[in-house]
Structure 1
Amino acid sequence: MPETCIISWSDGTWVHPPAAVQSNSEGNGALEVTVAEGSDAWRHTAYGFVHDSAPALLAPLAVGEAMEVTFHAAWEGEFDQAGLFVRIDAEHWAKTGVEYADGHLGLGAVVTAGKSDWSVGQVDQWREHEITVRVSRWADSLVVRARAADEPWRLVRVAPFDGDAAVFAGPFAAAPTRAGLTVHFTRWERSAADTALH
């Protein structure tokens, strides 16, 4: 596999298509995704509800590979979110990226095996920047990193994940509380997985 391989937007398959999508084949080749109000992904924990409506554009992700997405948006609505979604099935998945909540932009991950958990830390200084999220798939885990612009990578999460399952991953966005969130995805890449945590 080449060191880095650009994934075409047309190579992905939508799980829960967005309200609107536009691909710009000129210039930076951005994918503009507008999501419906009420879209989200969560299972049970703390809130008691199950939401499985977040639009995600997915392509295969094998053990030993990494996937990255780069994006920016106007973060204004409570729980506006975008990043990278990694899916086995409706009960086994992870989403990682940024989410606007309680007046702050948070960087984190939700990992779900029947029930969801959520880890998050504030990155308000990232709000006006382009953000890149990277997930490396190891034999027993996902290793999540992220950065704003060309800053150094920041380790976000190491989470257990089934190495034997067929896994699909790619850009996602959701807007649980408002209509009109548009996320501009500017890059989608596959490469070799990171080989170390530190």
Structure 2
Amino acid sequence: MKIQTINWPDGIWTNQPVSSSVDRERLIVEAAERSDYWQQTMYGFQHDSGHALLHSWERQYAAEVSFKLDHFSELYDQAGLMLWHSPSQWIKAGIEINDGVPHIGAVVTDTYSDWSLSPVLEWAGKEITIRASRLNDAVIIRARADRDAWRTVRVARFPYPSDVQAGPFLCAPTRSGFQVTFTRWVLTSPDEDIHTDPPAEA
């Protein structure tokens, strides 16, 4: 399957960021202060103010988003890939600052949100790619830094047959001025199996 690049202007923002601009095929975005996505669990609050740039996502494709892991410094600075079915059914996967350290993680939401994460201090300063591929009633989420080997981040239930979108997201729950440079947004060949690396790029 040939890689299909999604043009940045073809996506639709869930919430407009402070600013966004395209520079030499890169998308540079600044998040609003106190922007976030979270539904109720543990904290009790509901946040729907994050910034996700979404495009239709058919199940025969894997979705990938890449970005630079720089300028992430404050608690909960985050960016990555959003998988969206509705305001109460979505998954965000990517890098988030927790206790001063970048972590790879995912928040899976079906009315309530959960959170899983693992530190990746060695990924600082690199280009990060987050990948999602659907298999049966689930989604396989993987990540890598630069051209290193893929790391499986999460297998989560994501059974929706239609009305699904995917694309880059960012949030800045604790500060203003958080900026992310996204470098790539593509649809490509899906995973064949959880235990097999994704197909080589065409």
Normalising by structure 2, report the TM-score.
0.94
Q: Unaligned stretches of 5+ in structure 1?
A: none
Q: Secondary structure at the match of 2:122?
A: helix
* Aligned residue type for 1:98: I
Query: Which whole-Å CA distance do the structure 2 matches of 1:190 and 1:89 have between them?
Result: 21
Q: CA deviation at 1:192?
A: 2.1
- Residues 61 and 137 in structure 1, CA contact (< 8 A), matched pair in contact too: no
Determine the structure 1 residue equivalent to 2:165. Answer: 168
In structure 1, the residue corresponding to 2:143 is in which secondary structure?
Answer: strand
Deviations 1:141-196 (A, max 9, x none): 11100000110000000000123231001000000000001000000000121111
Query: In the alignment, what sits opposite 1:150?
Result: 147
SS of match in other structure, 1:38:
coil
Contact residue 39 and residue 54 of structure 1 kept, 8 A: yes
Taking only aligned residues, the RMSD between alpha carbons, in angstroms, comes to: 0.9
SS in 2 for 1:125: helix
Paired residues in the alignment total 194
Identity value in percent: 43
* Secondary structure, counterpart of 1:107 in structure 2: strand
CA distance in 1, matches of 2:131, 2:145: 12
Matching residue of 2:20: 21
125, 133, 138: which one pairs with 2:135? Answer: 138
Whether 2:63 is the aligned partner of 1:64: answer: no
Q: Is residue 82 from structure 1 mapped to residue 79 from structure 2 by the alignment?
A: yes
The question of 1:123 aligning with 2:120 is answered yes
* 1:196 alignment partner, one of 187, 193, 197: 193
5+ residue gaps, structure 2, are 196-202
Query: Could you tell me how far apart the structure 2 residues matched to 1:151 and 1:164 are?
Result: 32
CA distance in structure 2 between the partners assigned to 1:17 and 1:66 by the alignment? 25
What is the rounded CA distance, in whole Å, between the counterparts of 2:81 and 2:152 in structure 1?
Answer: 15
Moved >3 Å (runs of 4+): none
- Give 3-state SS (helix, strand or coil) of 1:21's partner: strand
